[in-house]
Amino acid sequence: MDYEPVIGLEVHVQLKTSSKMFCGCTTEFGGSPNSHTCPVCLGFPGVLPVLNKKALLLAVRAALAVGCRISGEVKFHRKNYFYPDLPKDYQISQYDEPLSENGKIEIMSGGTAKTIRVKRVHMEEDAGKLIHEEGENSSLVDFNRSGMPLLEIVSEPDINSPDEAYQYLTNLKLLLKYLDVSDCDMEKGSLRCDANISLRPKGDKGLGTKAEVKNMNSFKGVKAALEFEIGRQSGLLDSGERIVQETRLWDPEKNITISMRSKEEAHDYRYFPEPDLVPFALDGNVAKAQKASLPELPKARKERFMNLLGLPDYDAEVLTQEKENADYFEECLKNYDKPKTVSNWMMGDISAYLNSRAMSITAIKMKPASLAGLLKEIDSGKISGKMAKEIIPEMCDTGKEASVIISEKGLSQISDVSELEKFADEAIAENSKTVEDFMKGKDSALMFLVGQVMKKTRGKANPAMVNEVLRKRLAGKK
């Protein structure tokens, strides 16, 4: 039978604060185990949590950027469960009144725009981390992560393919990075994603029994896990079996999901209002101020690059896919006002340099103003585009200005007419047959002569000027 996947994603991102959600401990990554802890995040009896204001502001900011309505009240709940990495036996989270609801994220699906609704965006604290060393029959626990501020972004089950899930995650991450609310570094665990997936016969409106998949550590992993689940669930349904509501773990080595436990229902957690954090009204001005300070978001920036700077759709899309690249591009334009030229060099030679070294643009030593300087050297005819290609890697490596490398390497192009005339005359004298062909109207013969002059100057002549000089000299012979 033909099935349609119904997918909802829960994304956890760590908010970019310097201290934890309810205590003053540092949020710095790493540190020796259990060194970034205090009685509050270790869950000692009698300690009192205090909400981190910055975490609240960043959460409001992110919620606004995905178009959510901000709640007028901030209210926390205890989510009760036992786990060795949770010393309090409960996690402070939000339940019936999340910080915000009803947002949306736009994706492209099969060439058309599609809206994925965001059900809610709420705040919660992270748990510690269990370390299971191979070959040991005991486990270790590190509470450095305990109490880190998290934002949970829950989508409605509007996603219908692994590809759409991948797009949603990519767009969400891009947005969060533009907002500077999180590092979104999956390797460091500052962005995590769980997926709920069920299948239904195509055309049906009802929902099938879902499985929750955890433990994906990359967007590609999410896509692969969903693809695996579609295969597994459709196999079960085809053979008339029942899907069990459960939590499954993705095994990236074997490319399969494994049953972990039956899925809890909300009532299993015995949520109740956190008595140590009284609900408080959120001043409408807080949201207003955050809204006013939102930066230009990726979609708007792309549109501006197209409409005001005249970039083609493709260039605008590529340049805005990383905030840093778009920033670099605009910085360069401050000193060099030809957007398409800058875009070409960034998507060409600079991108090739970055890819070959797996670097991001922020790591290269060539400043945007230096790239502008290089492009001006090409425009003035001092160097050729080919020479610029040779210079770029050195500029990226060393941060030297183009003009310095040009003079160090003696690279400058010969643009002096009288010097070029000398070489042109030599080429004409040495190639009488070609000259004759040209005189008879064979225009392509000129290209051969241009090549000869370029050879004589060891590539240093300005080809456009050589062309012009040769034409003038030959016209004189007619």
Residue 263 has which token pair? 């899925």
* Residue indicated by tokens 């183009």: 402
Residue by residue, DSSP assigns 439-467 as HTT-TTHHHHHHHHHHHHTTT-B-HHHHH
**Quick one: which segment of 23-31, 176-184, 281-289, 335-343 binds Zn ion (CB under 5 A)?**
23-31
**Quick one: which segment of 17-25, 330-338, 360-368, 450-458 binds Zn ion (CB under 5 A)?**
17-25
**Quick one: which segment of 21-29, 188-196, 357-365, 418-426 binds Zn ion (CB under 5 A)?**
21-29
The residue (of 38 and 260) whose beta carbon lies closer to Zn ion is 38
Q: Based on DSSP, count helices (H) and strands (E) in the chain, helices before strands.
A: 16, 16
**Under rule CB under 5 A, how many of the chain's residues touch Zn ion?**
5
The residue (of 25 and 222) whose beta carbon lies closer to Zn ion is 25
38 binds Zn ion (CB under 5 A): yes
If phi > 0 it is left, if psi is from -120 to 50 it is alpha, else beta; for residue 383 that is beta
23 binds Zn ion (CB under 5 A): yes
The residue (of 38 and 249) whose beta carbon lies closer to Zn ion is 38
260 binds Zn ion (CB under 5 A): no
Q: How far is the CB of 49 from Zn ion (least distance, A)?
A: 10
The residue (of 22 and 336) whose beta carbon lies closer to Zn ion is 22
The residue (of 150 and 342) whose beta carbon lies closer to Zn ion is 150
**Residues 467/468/471/472 CA torsion (nearest 10 deg):** -150
* Residue indicated by tokens 């910055």: 54
Letter string b/e over residues 453-473, b meaning 16 or more CB atoms within 10 A of that residue's CB = bbebbeebbbbebbbebbbeb
Q: How far is CA 359 from CA 58, 113, 370, 401, in A?
A: 28, 31, 18, 20
The residue (of 50 and 207) whose beta carbon lies closer to Zn ion is 50
Q: How far is the CB of 24 from Zn ion (least distance, A)?
A: 7
The residue (of 39 and 201) whose beta carbon lies closer to Zn ion is 39
Short-list 234, 157, 159, 242, CA closest to 199:
234
Q: Which residues contact 302 (CB under 8 A, 6 or more apart)?
A: 316, 317, 320
Q: How far is the CB of 351 from Zn ion (least distance, A)?
A: 43
* Residue indicated by tokens 């002569």: 449
Give me the 163-202 binding string for Zn ion, x by CB under 5 A, dash otherwise: ----------------------------------------
Residues 316, 318, 319, 323: is their CA dihedral positive or negative? positive
The residue (of 25 and 465) whose beta carbon lies closer to Zn ion is 25
Residue by residue, DSSP assigns 412-435 as --B--HHHHHHHHHHHHHH-HHHH
Give me the 39-78 binding string for Zn ion, x by CB under 5 A, dash otherwise: -xx-------------------------------------
**Quick one: which segment of 31-39, 217-225, 270-278, 379-387 binds Zn ion (CB under 5 A)?**
31-39
Q: Single out the residue of 21, 25, 65, 396 in contact with Zn ion (rule: CB under 5 A).
A: 25
Residues of this chain that bind Zn ion (CB under 5 A): 23, 25, 38, 40-41
